[in-house]
Amino acid sequence: MANNPYDEMFKNIARLMEKILSEMPLHDPRIIGFTIISGPPDAAPYFDPSGEDGDEEAEFEVIEGDDCIYITAAVNARAEGAPYVTFQNESVTLCTGGDEETVIDLDCEIDVPHSFYNVQHGVIDAVCRKKNAPDGIARS
């Protein structure tokens, strides 16, 4: 059987992924949507404003980083309406399909024109760029 010319490249990618995953910190690694987050930085705590206990999975997840806030939720595939996200200065309105909307209040002001969302494979990912960088320099 002839070797695929890309076999070596795929083996290298697999080895690289194994190395990256083995070197991730042991505290709370997670994969959210299509973003791999190894755990929140010390200065950016994880918070779940949905108020639900660990008994049931939350409707959405919020991770705050140094310059962005990441919001991820599962899309309701049976709903008639399309999922969407609306960005405001200090909050985000999340609709995972249908008529029901969830308003998520944020602890900081976001840069609305540079924030975006993506819906893919039953997951909606929103990236909210913070208005001020950690060093206090305003973003343009």
Span 32-77, pLDDT tens digits: 555 555 555 554 444 444 444 443 344 888 988 888 999 999 888 8
Q: Which residues are bridge partners to 89 per DSSP?
A: none
Residue 23 buriedness (CB in 10 A; 0-12 / 13-18 / 19+)? exposed
Looking at residue 120, its pLDDT comes to 87
Q: What is the pLDDT of residue 55?
A: 39
Q: Which residue has the higher pLDDT, 68 or 21?
A: 68
Quick one: tokens of 86?
Answer: 């609306």
Q: Does position 140 have pLDDT exceeding 70, yes or no?
A: no
Q: Is 130 exposed, middle or buried (0-12, 13-18, 19+ CB in 10 A)?
A: buried
Task: Give the Cα separation of 115 and 126 in Å (integer).
Answer: 8
Question: Token digits for 130?
Answer: 């913070």
- Cβ atoms of 105 and 14 within 8 Å: the answer is no
Report pLDDT digits (tens) over 88-135. 999 999 998 888 889 999 989 999 999 999 998 888 999 999 987 555
For residue 15, how many other CB atoms are within 10 A of its CB?
Answer: 10
Predicted TM-score (pTM) of this structure: 0.58
Give me the CATH code for the 28-129 domain, please: 2.60.40.790
Where are the domains positioned within the chain?
28-129
Per-residue pLDDT, 134: 54
Beta carbons of 38 and 24 less than 8 angstroms apart: yes
Contact (CB, 8 A) for 100 and 85? no
- pLDDT given for residue 70 in this prediction: 93
How far is 130 from 112, CA to CA, in rounded Å?
Answer: 9
